Structure 1
Amino acid sequence: MDASKPIFKLEVITLLVKFLKPVLPCIINQSQNLCKDLLLKNTPKDEHDYFLTRFSILSALGFIIGPFISGSLFSIGFLYVGLLAAALTLANIFLIKSIPKGTDDLPPQLDERSFVEKSWENVIDTVDNFKKSDYKKNWDIIAIKYLYISSITIFFSKFTQILKHNFDATPFVIGYTSSYMSSLTFAGTYFATNIKDHISNYSVLTLTEYALVVAGTTQLLACYSPVYNLYAIMCIPIIFSTSFINSMWKDLFSIRGNESLKKVNSSVGILSGLTIPLIFGIVCNTIGHHAVIIFSVIPIIVSLFVINKYTKQYKLVEQENKKSKDE
């Protein structure tokens, strides 16, 4: 009986690690938005644009420099990566503690709802908006985003498996590849903002379709690239096209004129981000790195099929119905 206790403790610790592994990154990822809110609270309104621009630049530099340094340290020993992360976290804590509290930072006195109650109310609102979104007619818009988020979530979170399998990449190579992709993401955000102003005469659906074709084709080439240089080149159209698609969702969810459909836009992305990694994990345990290719490419192919077989036809039917009503 005594011999089983250490095994039981080890199993409990393993379960806790498996639970915290996906939860901690989700919590840490919120720090970007929280820092932005903190910045806006402590700077004059007329200087918000100035500080936000520099905030974006510094954030991008962090995403570029961080993986490069961690990749270099990993080749020496993972302990050094952990120590660096701990030191930077402590530095952030001291910096936050040095910021004087404002009136907005005081706990609200009127709102006595618990975190669970607030979360439950958000879930109820999301379900209510979903019901009002006329999903039986608008299911295609929801499905297109769900499939797209599934694709990019797996590709950008598991591209290291492609590097390891195709090129037997070292931690250093993975580190500077991550830095390279982060720099492209930073540039892609500005590309998407500027290009939209020059192609506003095209329909939202057409632009989204073309961007999905580019993203799907280049992701397929990246997954099967025989040499690293080809993978690196394919990252450029992948990231620029996905950045453009990310900027189009608000417009795409507005084409049907349904306010509730607009409100479920972000919820669909969250749902996909929560469910797909779980499904991917089950499949990946069975077929290995091939799961990365399947989950990166197939969802985009299916979304293009939905656009051509339903979304475009729906638009034509709506136009015909409008003509018949006018007559």
Structure 2
Amino acid sequence: MAFDPTWVYAISFMDLFAVSLSIPLLSTHLRSLGASHMLIGFSSSLYAGAQLISGPIIGSWSDRKGRQMVLLTSLIICVISYVFLGMLKSLVVVLVIRLILGIFKHIQVLTRTIVADQIPSEEQSRVSGRLTALSSAGFIIGPVIGGHLAELENGFTYLCYLTALLFALNIAMTYLFLPDCPKAQLPDETETIREKKKCASFKEEMICAVRDLADIDWAMYWDIFALKFLMGISQAIFFSNYFLNVQETYNVSPKWTGYTISFQGIVGASAGLLAGWVDQKLYKNDLSFRQRNLHGFIIMAVAYTGLLFSPTLFLFMLWTIPLRASCAILRIVGTDMILKRGSATQRGSLVGTGNSISNIARLVAPLLAGFMGDLYGTNTSALLSTIISVLGIILLLTTKQHTPPVRTKAH
């Protein structure tokens, strides 16, 4: 079967659309079950911590077992988890489900790796941009629908069931339209692929997947992961107490705060769609990705500075345009750097590790933002994000950038 990226777009969109229906309301659900603010924060950290540890392992497992099988496993576990999340009203159950989802829910990582397997390198920026745009669109629509359904009696339960149904649709699409197509093999990778087929049982596969991670030359990727961390933590700090900051600073209702998030989602989706065009028009000769990263971090730093000093909500929203656009493009650039620098047999491991780096940022950011907010006020988040963006600029200006060999997909 010929590979059609449309199905990857659909699965990625459905994933984030499904999650955005219920996850924004999870803290309210936990409060209704008697959870403290600390326990609510712990549930978020539990998920991020599980993602952090499991990301490289799941990615390595997909290198070994095949993307479709691992993606199907992830989706089946998501369906079961959300059904139980809607059925059982227990704090312990919620925490256990968050842990299970954190371990296995790596759908975005797997879809991006599938794109890397099947799309020629010269077209990956364009396809990755569309993938980012369409998956971001899920977060534009989902919270609005979820907010309305949540007002019904037992609304959270219905949202969990609807989320499970959407994941079930993703199972059908994955099974029918995303079989593991033949991948391009480099001459020096034949023996590696043969060796990877020796592990048979699930336990052996997990052990082998962890062992494969030790075979990667991680020193080759430190600069990519450092930049991903700096971008991730600057974003996570800024958005960690976003609702509270906007409402206190500009005296607006939660409804209007939600609209500001949807607007930023639209900007991010639009930037993703334009990423391929920007790549071809402005950065065709930027083989090391240095210029793209440098320009992106400069725009981020300027945008955070503008947000810090915005006296009105209108100016605040204007500054979010360059911020969300630069973040969307930097996310795509980071993935492209990993894929073009790494081996085809290690893509899942590398993309999974990149996702884990983002989860480290999400673990650290709420603690740092909360601590600084208590000391210096709610507007500190934009200042911290500005400083971290400047660190990214300094890193790019002071380190030698690696230029990867150009690899094209064989047909």
Tell me if TM exceeds 0.5. Answer: yes
- Post-superposition offset of 1:133: 4.2
Q: TM-score, normalised by structure 2?
A: 0.53
2:399 counterpart residue number: 310
**Is contact 2:297-2:326 (8 Å) kept?**
yes
**Is contact 2:245-2:379 (8 Å) kept?**
no
Provide the identity percentage.
Answer: 19
Are 2:109 and 1:85 aligned? no
Q: Which amino acid aligns with 1:210?
A: H
2:202 counterpart residue number: 113
Change (3 A) 1:297 1:71: farther
- Post-superposition offset of 1:210: 1.4
State how 1:126-205 maps to structure 2 within 5 Å: 126-129=213-216, 132-134=217-219, 139-156=222-239, 158-203=241-286, 204-205=289-290
Task: Please list every run of 5 or more consecutive structure 1 residues that lacks an aligned counterpart in the other structure.
Answer: 1-9, 39-51, 316-327
* Equivalent of 1:233 in 311, 314, 318: 318
State how 1:207-246 maps to structure 2 within 5 Å: 207-246=292-331
Change (3 A) 1:59 1:274: closer
Q: What secondary structure does 1:226 align onto?
A: coil
Larger Rg: 1
Change (3 A) 1:124 1:36: closer
**Is contact 1:133-1:258 (8 Å) kept?**
no
**Is contact 1:146-1:268 (8 Å) kept?**
no
**Is contact 2:272-2:328 (8 Å) kept?**
yes
- Post-superposition offset of 1:307: 1.6
- Post-superposition offset of 1:213: 0.2
Q: TM-score, normalised by structure 1?
A: 0.64
Q: What secondary structure does 1:248 align onto?
A: helix
2:382 counterpart residue number: 293
1:318 counterpart residue number: none
1:64 counterpart residue number: 140
Aligned mates of 2:246, 2:358 — CA distance in 1? 23
Q: Which amino acid aligns with 2:260?
A: T
Higher relative contact order by CA 8 Å / sep ≥ 6: 1 or 2? 2
Change (3 A) 1:88 1:221: same
Aligned mates of 2:130, 2:283 — CA distance in 1? 28
Q: Give the alignment's Cα RMSD to 1 decimal.
A: 4.7
Task: Please list every run of 5 or more consecutive structure 2 residues that lacks an aligned counterpart in the other structure.
Answer: 1-33, 48-97, 115-127, 181-198, 404-411
Change (3 A) 1:34 1:305: closer
